[in-house]
Amino acid sequence: MTAGQTVTVYGAYGHTGRFVVAQLRERGFVPVLAGRDADKLKALAQDYPGLEIRPASVADPDSLDTALAGSAAVINCAGPFATTAAPLIEAALRARIPYVDVAAEIEANADTFAHFTDRAREAGTVIVPAMAFYGGLGDLLATAAMGDWTAADEAHIAYGLNSWEPTEGTRVAGKVSADRRGGRRVRFTKGQLEYHTDELPTVQWPFPDPMGPRAVVGEFTMADVITIPSHLSIPEVRTYMATEAATGIASPDTPTPTAVDEQGRSAQTFLVDVVVRSGDTERRATASGQDIYAVTAPLAVEAVHRILTGQTRTTGVASAGELFDAPDFLRALSPHIALALHP
């Protein structure tokens, strides 16, 4: 049982953080509202009378300890994660509670695996980076598509977004990642990350109906290149982005998301199409839904629920596909995504 347990949400007043707070309440948890800006926390608390606010800075370990005190888990929704992930993980290790974040930053996720795997395993706790639309969902789909395969030659993750109106947090995180790469691009090939300056190709991707074939930008690399290879033996992991979405996030004039329903979701729709190939055989898994930021919330909260109820397969730093029963986890998201598995 997890009803009534407290979960600290760091960055609770951010766009994704608000979705996470609402989802936690819907699932019976009691969110603790935490973050760097006390005024924004107070404003958010007006929408949730009775919820506790705990201002905390990643530069102040004592304040982070206070923010996590008494909580069963922490969900980090505050980017850039290159700045926030390590201090929050350190605080979670001190508190001996699970840590989940929604980072889409490739290097930040790689740092989490590199720096905390042994310590988290020794502590017997769980750290789950990229438990979000980018990184988490693709990893779950790839793991489900693999089925009984122990290895594959390639994994392809194609993002069919009809648009992408990025949040301010997405733009800041993207700038941090770009600065870390020195303007280079990144891909996962021959079993490792490779930085390059090649132009990205535009190709056609055969999305299933009702979307159908659509132009995508090839090697538009997302966090899946960290999560999938962390536990699946696949030397080539390639990601693709619909040209409409790639154009949207690249333009400085694209507005932030606008709510169109009572849940606060935007009109954005998505179809994630994952294909794994071994020799001449392919297996496929797809998920579709509305609003990539909104769907991140049930992904993160379902992860916390499963960790706290013992529905996990390992300890330490682990991606969603390694930690959970991927097909079962995806089916649990049925109120939020439409799933199709084609083994």
Q: How far apart are CA 102 and CA 242, in angstroms?
A: 22
Domain carrying residue 50: 6-132+296-327
The CATH number of the domain where 171 resides is what? 3.30.360
What's the Cα-to-Cα distance from 162 to each of 152, 159, 271, 314, 329, rounded to whole Å?
30, 9, 9, 36, 25
> Could you tell me if residue 47 is inside a domain?
yes
Asked if 278 and 146 sit in the same domain, the reply is yes
- For strands 269-278 and 281-290, give the pairing: antiparallel
Could you write out the DSSP letters of every residue in 177-202? Answer: HHHHHTT-EEEEETTEEEEE-PPPPE
Asked if 207 and 72 sit in the same domain, the reply is no
Please tell me the total count of domains within the chain. 2
The CATH number of the domain where 76 resides is what? 3.40.50.720
> Could you tell me if residue 1 is inside a domain?
no
> Could you tell me if residue 286 is inside a domain?
yes
- pLDDT on residue 343: 64
Asked if 87 and 178 sit in the same domain, the reply is no
Asked if 79 and 211 sit in the same domain, the reply is no
Q: How far apart are CA 168 and CA 193, in angstroms?
A: 27
62 contacts: CB under 8 Å, gap ≥ 6: none
Three-class SS state of 32:
strand
Asked if 306 and 172 sit in the same domain, the reply is no
For 221, the token pair is 């690399």
Q: How far apart are CA 122 and CA 119, in angstroms?
A: 5
> Could you tell me if residue 202 is inside a domain?
yes
Asked if 213 and 316 sit in the same domain, the reply is no
Asked if 177 and 275 sit in the same domain, the reply is yes
DSSP β-bridge partners for residue 128: 100
Q: How far apart are CA 131 and CA 109, in angstroms?
A: 10
Asked if 224 and 207 sit in the same domain, the reply is yes
Name the nearest CA neighbour of 166 among 15, 298, 12.
Answer: 15
Asked if 171 and 278 sit in the same domain, the reply is yes
Largest CA distance in the chain: 58
Q: What is the pLDDT of residues 267-288, one digit of tens each?
A: 999 999 999 999 999 999 999 9
> Could you tell me if residue 128 is inside a domain?
yes
Asked if 149 and 277 sit in the same domain, the reply is yes
> Could you tell me if residue 28 is inside a domain?
yes
Asked if 157 and 279 sit in the same domain, the reply is yes
> Could you tell me if residue 99 is inside a domain?
yes
> Could you tell me if residue 267 is inside a domain?
yes
Asked if 272 and 306 sit in the same domain, the reply is no
State which residues of the chain have pLDDT below 50.
none
Cis peptide before 80 (omega within 30 of 0): yes
Whether the pTM exceeds 0.85: the reply is: yes
